Structure 1
Amino acid sequence: MDVSGLSHAFGPRQALRDVGFSLAPGDFTVLLGLNGAGKTTLFALVTRLYHSRQGRIAVFGHDIRRQPSAALAAMGVVFQQPTLDLDLTVRQNLAYHASLHGLSGSRARLRIEEELERVGLADRRDTRVRQLSGGQRRRVELARALVHDPALLLLDEPTVGLDIESRRFLIDHVRHLCRSRDMAVLWATHLIDEADDTAKVIVLHQGQVLDQGPVPQVAARAGVPTLRAAFDTLTHQHQGTRQHQGGAAR
C-alpha cells in the first residue's frame, strides 16, 4: 500500500496534511496518534467513505480513484464502531460479507469455517451476534474482514472497550497473520503499548506525520530510549513549532 501527498479538510479545518507512507507485505504498522489526530479520517479516505481530492492512495498497485473495486477487494477492514448485524447469526454476518466480495457458496462456507476456527468461535457460528460478548463480537468482525483473503488489513482502534484477555488475543492473532500469511496490517491506536519494538510505527499528530519507521529507529532519532518518550518529544516539538509560526504570523 502506498499513500502520498494525502490531505483532507472539513471546511476550514485541515484534518490531514501531506500524509505519506508505504506498507509492504508482512508489515505490522501501528498508526499512532491521540484522539483527533486524523486516524479515522485517513481510514475513511482509504476505504472510500470519503473521497480524496489531494494525494494518491494505491493498494498494491490499484489506485483507489481509478480502480476502486480492485483496491477495495484487496483490503479487509475492522472499523472503530461496531458494524455487525446484531439480529443475524455469526455465520450469516460472514456469509453476507462473502457474497459482497463475490465468493461462491462452497468457497464462502469453507472460508467462514476457517476464520471462525482461527478466532475460536466455530462453536458459536449459529449464535445471534447480540448474544455475544464485546470481545467475541470483535473476533467476529476480524473473521469477517478476512473471509475474502485480503492482502491488506486495516484496524481502527480495534481494542477500545475490550478486556485485557480479548485485547491480547486480538493483537497476537493479527501479528500472527502478518507472519503466516504475509499480510500487510495498518493498526490505528492511541495506546502506545500496542506498538512493541518489532513493529513499525507512523506517528500522526494534528493531521501530520511527525516520523515513521521501525520503533527503535523512531526512538533513536528522537534521542530517547522508548517509543513513549519519542512520542512525547515529537508532539511537544510539533506544538512548539506551530506556536512559533503562529507568533511569527501575528
Structure 2
Amino acid sequence: MTAIDAHSKGPILPDPRSRDDPAATPALSIEGISHSYGTRRALIDVSFAVAPASFTALLGLNGAGKSTLFALITRLFGTQAGRIGIFGHDISLAPGEALRLLGVVFQSRTLDLDLSVTQNLLYHAALHGIGKREARLRSDEVLTRIALADRACSKVRDLSGGQMRRLEIARALLHRPRLLLLDEATVGLDVKARADILGHVRQLVIEQDIGVLWATHLFDEIVPGDDLVVLHQGRVLAHGPVENIIADAGARDINSAFMRLTGAAVDPGSPAS
C-alpha cells in the first residue's frame, strides 16, 4: 500500500538555513532507518520528523517496530542503515550532544523500588553530572510540578502505578531535555491515571516547549491537532496531521483510517494487539 504523507518529501535532517533559524531544525529527524534481527526486518526505510514544541503520536500494533525505533534513537542499538538527528546532532557522529537533549520513558519500569522518590531522582541527576545542590533543587521542582512533593521520602514501591509513571517522567525531565520520548507510557494504568499522564505530557509541550514523541497502540490517546505517524510491520504508512490522514484515507475517524491503512480490525480505544 502506498504511504500517505501529509508533509513535504524534502530532506529530514536540517538544511543550512537551520543554523540561522533554530525553529527550522527538527527536534527529531528519522531518515531512511532500517533495522533487522538476523533475517527478520523490524524497520524498513522509516522516515519522519518531530517538530520542536510539538506532540507527535507514533501509532502502531504491538510488534510494529516502535520499541526498536526507540532503542535506535537512544543508542541502545547501533544504526544499521539511515540517519537519526536530535536538534541537528547526528546520533552516530555526535552522540553526546544529541543524547543530552533527550529524555526517555521506556515501557518497562526502570525505577529502584527500594529507594525513595527523591533518591531515585538524585541518582539520575548524578549520572548526568548535575551537582548535589542543583540536583536537590531540580528534584524539589519537578516533584512539585507532578504533585508528588508529599511523597518525596516514600519508597517507590509504595507508590501507585500512575505515581510511578509520573515519577519516571519527572526523572526524564531532570536534566532539562528539549525532546521527550515515551514508549507505551500508560500501559497497565487505569483510565484516570492514563488521562492524567497524557494530560501532563501535553501540558509540558505547552509550558516548556518540549518536543514529544508518544508511542502508543491506543486510539483514544490521539486527538485532532496531533501530528501522527502510523507504523505497521516496520513501515511508515502515513505521517501528518490527524485530520489529513483521516481525510486522505477516506475514513470517518482515526480508527477506521487505521483499519484502511493496515487492514487490521481493531476497536477504538482498545489495545491494538
State the Cα RMSD in Å.
1.0
The residue that corresponds to 1:240 in the other structure is: none
Q: How many residue pairs align between the two structures?
A: 237
Q: 1:202 aligns with which of 229, 237, 249?
A: 229
The residue that corresponds to 2:83 in the other structure is: 56
Contiguous gaps of at least 5 residues in structure 1: 238-250
CA distance in structure 1 between the aligned counterparts of 2:209 and 2:131, rounded to whole angstroms: 24
In the TM superposition, 1:146-165 aligns within 5 A as 146-165=173-192
CA distance in structure 2 between the aligned counterparts of 1:107 and 1:70, rounded to whole angstroms: 21
CA shift, 1:24, in A, is: 1.2
1:20 aligns with 2:67: no
The residue that corresponds to 1:103 in the other structure is: 130
1:235 aligns with 2:227: no
CA distance in structure 1 between the aligned counterparts of 2:251 and 2:235, rounded to whole angstroms: 21
**So what's the TM-score if we normalise by structure 1?**
0.93
In the TM superposition, 1:202-221 aligns within 5 A as 202-221=229-248
CA shift, 1:133, in A, is: 1.3
CA distance in structure 2 between the aligned counterparts of 1:182 and 1:87, rounded to whole angstroms: 33
The residue that corresponds to 1:129 in the other structure is: 156
**So what's the TM-score if we normalise by structure 2?**
0.85
The residue that corresponds to 1:37 in the other structure is: 64
CA shift, 1:106, in A, is: 2.0
1:191 aligns with 2:223: no
Q: Secondary structure at the match of 2:212?
A: strand
1:117 aligns with 2:144: yes
Q: 2:194 aligns with which of 142, 148, 167?
A: 167
The residue that corresponds to 2:25 in the other structure is: none
AA matched with 2:165:
R
CA shift, 1:185, in A, is: 0.2
CA shift, 1:102, in A, is: 1.5
AA matched with 2:167:
V
Query: Per-residue displacement from partner, 1:69-95 (whole Å, max 9, x unpaired)?
Result: 111111100000000011111101111
More helix by proportion, 1 or 2? 1
AA matched with 1:103:
I
In the TM superposition, 1:53-92 aligns within 5 A as 53-92=80-119
CA distance in structure 2 between the aligned counterparts of 1:225 and 1:181, rounded to whole angstroms: 33
CA distance in structure 1 between the aligned counterparts of 2:129 and 2:92, rounded to whole angstroms: 21
The residue that corresponds to 1:242 in the other structure is: none
CA shift, 1:4, in A, is: 0.2
Deviates more, 1:97-106 or 1:210-219: 97-106
CA distance in structure 1 between the aligned counterparts of 2:118 and 2:225, rounded to whole angstroms: 34
Q: Secondary structure at the match of 1:20?
A: strand
CA distance in structure 1 between the aligned counterparts of 2:135 and 2:105, rounded to whole angstroms: 19
The residue that corresponds to 1:247 in the other structure is: none
Give me the identity figure in percent.
Answer: 56
Deviates more, 1:160-169 or 1:34-43: 160-169
CA distance in structure 1 between the aligned counterparts of 2:51 and 2:62, rounded to whole angstroms: 26
AA matched with 1:33:
G
Query: Per-residue displacement from partner, 1:97-119 (whole Å, max 9, x unpaired)?
Result: 11111212222111111111111
AA matched with 2:39:
P
CA shift, 1:176, in A, is: 0.5
